[in-house]
Amino acid sequence: MMPVVAIVNLSLRSLINRRLTVVLTIFAIAVSLMLILGVEKLRHNAKLSFANTISGTDLIVGARSGSIQLLLYSVFRIGNATNNISWKSYRSIAERKDVKWTIPISLGDSHRGFRVMGTTDAYFRYYRYGQKRTLQFQVGRSFTDVFETVLGSEVAEALGYKSGEKIVIDHGIGASGFVKHKDKPFIISGILARTGTPVDRTVHVSLKGITAIHVDWRSGTRIPGMIIDGNAARKMDLTPRSITAFMVGLESRLAAFKVLREINNFRGEPILAILPGVALQELWGVMGTAEAVLSAVAIMVVAGGLLGMAIMLLASLNERRREMAILRAVGARPLHVGAMFLAEAVLISGFGCLVGFLLLYLGMIILQPMIEAHLGLFVPITPPMPREWLILVFVMIAATAVGLVPALMAYRKSIADGMTVRI
């Protein structure tokens, strides 16, 4: 009986002789596997990133809009901007007896492509991420002066900043702001430890700092002829007129629905309160359709790659009639010939899976900064998850099943068939 090693050796030699078509087939399987694993990894890491971004916050309050839009913009710093709410409305809700703490947020400016967020010291005391983990300082401390800033770890790493350096805030959002608040620079007072959340990509300043750099601005433009330097701005009333949104922690979580209903019926102005967990579930519901479509496309691509492999093996049957006849003549049994074709299918799919894994992680290394910059999602480069191993096993089983067709046809070929000249 022909040993397995001999069969595999013959299969490898046969594949090398047809290396062009084999390489193209391997590449097709690799791309299809990379696509289906990439969709799975992006789906998993996106959900993990979103779920770990905020924890321990009972409500998020902002201007009346969509709950998903408010969540994405205020917490994840992505999506379309929402309207502001007045400082008066914020104070009236923050002073409720059932409200334990609040974190006001003001967005709209940037620094070299990174979002600038105005807040208070309550942000560093009450904000939680992951499993209710607190923010920790890698270097320095929180801001105490109007013109001090705290950087997220990724901002400091990407731009090479250190504590004590000065930075200039860009007016508006963009990779390179055309209008800068050069007359009011900020000093870096601290750098936060890495969290794996949008906090890492945020420049934090005080609400007074946000107000100070805009004291000589109106409606998004500088007031002609008015220039107020930093020292003069410090002496002014820097109470903000409005903020983007604020997070709420309640004395009792049991009162969350009651407070939510009362805030949504607030008479001062149209505002919206959302439960972060409920809004996330709505987001998963919206993304579910897109996930299903992407998964279906990925499965079809995998099926196409395996079908291409089957067609390649079937097409080679007629070309290899003499090869199979010679193998039979020197003692190989029909089972051995069929096993050789099956081994070729397994080897092609195995090489395809290996190349697919390499392409996937290479693509992740290249695309990771782009995904973070444009989508605000941190996609860590991690080893394959159990679900990914299951997909790999499924592809190998499917490849083996597909390879049985040409293997069975080769098994049924006779010696005489290989010796017959076909015109």
Q: What confidence tens digit (pLDDT) does each residue in 340-388 have?
A: 777 777 888 888 888 888 888 888 888 777 766 555 566 667 788 888 8
Query: How far from 361 is each of 34, 37, 117, 357, CA to CA, in Å?
Result: 9, 10, 33, 6
The structural domains of the chain, with segments of one domain joined by +, span 4-50+288-419, 59-274
> What's the pLDDT at 300?
82
Please report, for the chain, how many H helices and E strands are present, in that order: 14, 16
Per-residue model confidence (pLDDT) at position 423? 47
Using CB atoms within 10 A of its CB, is residue 159 exposed (0-12), middle (13-18) or buried (19+)? middle
**Prediction pTM value:** 0.71
Residue 247 contacts residue 277 (beta carbons within 8 Å): no
Cα–Cα distance list, 162 to 26, 28, 115, 206 (Å): 48, 47, 18, 19
| More confident call, 119 vs 10 | 119
Tokens at 386, concatenated: 């159990």
pLDDT in tens, 42-89: 777 777 777 778 888 999 999 998 888 998 888 888 877 888 999 999
What pLDDT digit, counting tens, does each position of 301-312 carry? Answer: 778 777 877 777
Q: What integer pLDDT is reported at residue 27 of this predicted model?
A: 86
Closest C-alpha among 345, 354, 343 to residue 33? 354
Per the CB < 8 A criterion, the answer to whether 400 and 393 are in contact is no
Environment class of 164 (CB within 10 Å of its CB; exposed 0-12, middle 13-18, buried 19+): exposed
Percent of residues, the chain, with pLDDT higher than 70: 85
27-41, 97-111, 241-255: least confidently modelled range: 27-41
pLDDT over 50 at 244, yes or no: yes
pLDDT tens-digit series, residues 88-132: 999 999 999 999 999 999 998 889 889 999 999 999 999 998 878
pLDDT at 403: 75
